[in-house]
Chains A and B, each alone.
Chain A
Amino acid sequence: MSMAEALQPDEFAATAARAVTACAGLDIREQAQNLAGDGLLGVIADEGVGGLALPLGFAVPVIAAAHSGLLAFPLLETVLVGRLLQSSLTRLAAAIVSGETLATIAWQGEVLAEREGGQLLLSGSLGRAPCAGQVDHILARTNDGAAVLIPANAGGVVVEEAAGLDLTVPEHVVRLEKVELPVGSILPAGTWDLLNSDANVLRAAAILGSAEACLSLAQEHASTRRQFGHALSYNQAIRHALARQKLGLESIRHAITRSLSKDGGPVQRDAAFLAAATYGSSIGEGALQIHGGMGFTWDVPVHRHLRRIRTLQAQGDASGLINSFGHRYVSEVAPFAEAGA
């Protein structure tokens, strides 16, 4: 029996939750070592690079637990980059899976890559790169749909803090000013789309984790906070609001499950992320509202989750994706002709 057959994805949730708790207060490199020690950085990477070689579904509870626990580490990006590089840059992939080397992904912007002799000359502006100021490598999309891996310390790479909502895994912008790299730094055409399709599932999982934490906080507050002689949850308006949040949460969970089933393809993966983006924001904002004035305070962590959800929504370009999703759907339907639909 293979490891994938012997294990269940949910078994990873408890391990991940413990690992996230153990990471509290550590710097990013210490966190990497801890997470690698629990096998979480290589959960979907090949065994040849030190990974567990499990299907993507096993990363779902790991990412959800990381976000539920407000892990201050670019785990989603690390998990994806480690697997992406396992065939072409094996040693680097192994270093990422072992936590020795840190990597992230710039989700926004494109790199213009020009060949100059045996070298590549990179230029461009990138954004939405979580923790880019603290990592060793940044993966980015090229203007022809491939991907390129850029050492953060290469000449011409300028990383700056970006304005952004996320406090836990802050985003950076990256400027590339005639960065010279070996041609081998370019990964094959089509790499980005495949990476992004997997990322959509994991973003949905991340939002699920944060939304679950928000609902749990709201539920606890509604059950313990008393107003007008009753717990808040005595009021139908509060009960129904929480019930709607639960519906949204289960909708995200089921959409992720479906996207990973035998019938799951790009449509189901996009749908999982889009559903998560819609319901996740609504759950976060709703949880904040149920906390009343408390929800607007810095100390109540609902805003930290809401910030992450909104950031993930933007990293996955939810508004652009729903547009292309709709256009694709419309374009696939033929004009009405008798003989029925």
Chain B
Amino acid sequence: MSALEAVSTHPEARENLTGEAYRDVMYRWLRANLPASFRSDSVAFAPPTLAQSVAWEAAMYRAGLTGITWPQVYGGHGRSLREHLIANQEIGRLAMPESVNSIGKELAGPIILAVGTEEQKRRFLPAILEMRNIWCQGFSEPEAGSDLAGLRTRATRNGDGWRINGQKIWTSGAYRAQRCLVLARTGPLEDRHRGLAMFAVPLDAKGVRVRTIKSIDGRESFCEVFFDEVEVAQADAIGAPDEGWAAAIRVLEIERATNRMYRAWRFENELRHLISACKADAVLSAMVADRHYAVRLGEVAVEIEVLKAHVETAVEALASGDKIGARGSLAKLYWSESHQRFAALALELLSQASLPQNPAIKVARQRFEAIYLQARAETIYAGTTEIQLGIIADRILQLSRGK
């Protein structure tokens, strides 16, 4: 019997597993089932199509690797955050593609769990995990990037429902999504953070138009989304008009500390891949053995250890019932800047490879050139570096703004 069969056909058996036994099952399933063509550290790598990604993520869900902490009644696996960490460590250790539905699993889902109605939880949550519904996030606007209090997209009452008008931008993956978590204003602009409501807008609704934006890595992943007299049912309003945003902020604080929890272990996978590629090249193998690059690679390895420490501390704090609050900004700031430094070092090393280029270097260059470019966005999305520094100054250090 393969590991896949052992896991996926007997869900009740793995419910009793904990700790290292649980890790072992996750480890074996991933290695048995992740196609080589999905692995960006393989010469067989070919980026998966959307349909392949959807199928893969649905299989991961069935194997117990997503929806780990969500309640079983909504399709989740009802496990602890510590087990979520274990599964994510194993996910990080492999060079697998990023989720095409991370907004659904790590933003919309947790917000719906926190403030959604019972009907919404039953309708939306299993569909996210089963990959029947891909979500995108409609927060940023042309006039409201980091400062969401200035957003102008308006939701007005329309009989029993709502009518939405406005424009969103930097909406990753909107072209492939079925639902957009839209933040819209129900009161006057002067109300700032008050009067902000959230809606689960179906992207096939009349009046929704999506336009892709080409990014520096050549991809057309993020989008502008236009809402022109879009009618939204009350059943798709998430939380009360004046309560939704505050609840979302609480969820976002936790998410900032815990989302893509595999990052440190993925960065370690990247570092090991970089070194293994360098060691397959005559010039680079000598360079990484030299003090200069050994020290710089050592510095990356130390930063990865520190990032693991940030993640594990956050998990222990949450698992012990502590509030994470603004401390999620510390981890976000740390990983995003650290990853940029690492990506720049990888590029610097690989650009010195000998000719003709061997297959190992070709694979590594393809991976790290993409990582380098994508990492430039990491200090911008989910709250820019400057926003994170501001949060730390305001809410953790509580520095005076006194006149």
Please report A residues at the B interface, Cβ cutoff 8 Å.
219, 222-223, 229-231, 233-234, 236, 239-240, 242-244, 246-247, 250-251, 254-255, 257-258, 261, 267-268, 271, 274-275, 278, 322-323, 325-327, 329-330, 333-341
Report the bound CA distance from A336 to B39 in whole Å. Answer: 14
Indicate if the CB atoms of B392 and A247 lie closer than 8 Å: yes
B373 near A: Cβ within 8 Å?
no
Indicate if the CB atoms of B306 and A330 lie closer than 8 Å: no
Please report B residues at the A interface, Cβ cutoff 8 Å.
36, 39, 41-44, 94-95, 269, 271-273, 275-277, 279-280, 285, 288-289, 291, 293-299, 301-302, 305-306, 308-310, 312-313, 327, 330, 333-334, 359-360, 363-364, 386, 388-390, 392-394, 396-397, 399-403
Indicate if the CB atoms of A246 and B301 lie closer than 8 Å: no
Indicate if the CB atoms of B397 and A219 lie closer than 8 Å: yes
Nearest first, the 3 A-B pairs at minimum CB distance are: A326-B298, A326-B294, A336-B360
Report the bound CA distance from A233 to B402 in whole Å. Answer: 8
Indicate if the CB atoms of A247 and B330 lie closer than 8 Å: yes
Indicate if the CB atoms of B396 and A327 lie closer than 8 Å: no
Report the bound CA distance from A234 to B403 in whole Å. Answer: 7
CB-CB under 8 A for A257 and B396, given A230-B403, A322-B302, A340-B95: no
Report the bound CA distance from A242 to B386 in whole Å. Answer: 13
- By a CB distance below 8 angstroms, the chain A residues around B400 are 223, 231, 233-234
Which of B275, B309, B312, B363 interacts with A333 by CB under 8 Å? B275
Q: Which residue of B lies closest to A224 (CB)?
A: B400
Q: Specify the main secondary structure of chain A where it touches its partner.
A: helix
Indicate if the CB atoms of B305 and A258 lie closer than 8 Å: yes
Distance between B63 CB and nearest chain A CB, rounded to angstroms: 19
CB-CB under 8 A for A329 and B309, given A242-B393, A247-B392, A340-B36: no
Q: How many inter-chain residue pairs (CB < 8 Å) link A and B? A: 159
CB-CB under 8 A for A329 and B397, given A234-B403, A258-B309: no
Indicate if the CB atoms of B399 and A219 lie closer than 8 Å: yes
- By a CB distance below 8 angstroms, the chain A residues around B297 are 326, 329-330
Report the bound CA distance from A267 to B268 in whole Å. Answer: 14
CB-CB under 8 A for A336 and B305, given A223-B399, A240-B393, A258-B312: no
Distance between A243 CB and nearest chain B CB, rounded to angstroms: 4
- By a CB distance below 8 angstroms, the chain B residues around A236 are 390
Q: Which residue of B lies closest to A230 (CB)?
A: B403
Indicate if the CB atoms of A231 and B402 lie closer than 8 Å: yes
Which of A251, A325, A341 interacts with B301 by CB under 8 Å? A325
Report the bound CA distance from A49 to B388 in whole Å. Answer: 50
Which of B44, B392, B403 interacts with A243 by CB under 8 Å? B392
Indicate if the CB atoms of A233 and B401 lie closer than 8 Å: yes
- By a CB distance below 8 angstroms, the chain A residues around B295 are 322-323, 326
- By a CB distance below 8 angstroms, the chain B residues around A330 are 275, 279, 288-289, 294, 297
Report the bound CA distance from A199 to B106 in whole Å. Answer: 40
- By a CB distance below 8 angstroms, the chain B residues around A335 are 276, 279-280, 285, 360
Report the bound CA distance from A250 to B396 in whole Å. Answer: 11
CB-CB under 8 A for A322 and B397, given A239-B389, A240-B389, A251-B306: no
- By a CB distance below 8 angstroms, the chain B residues around A242 are 393, 397, 399
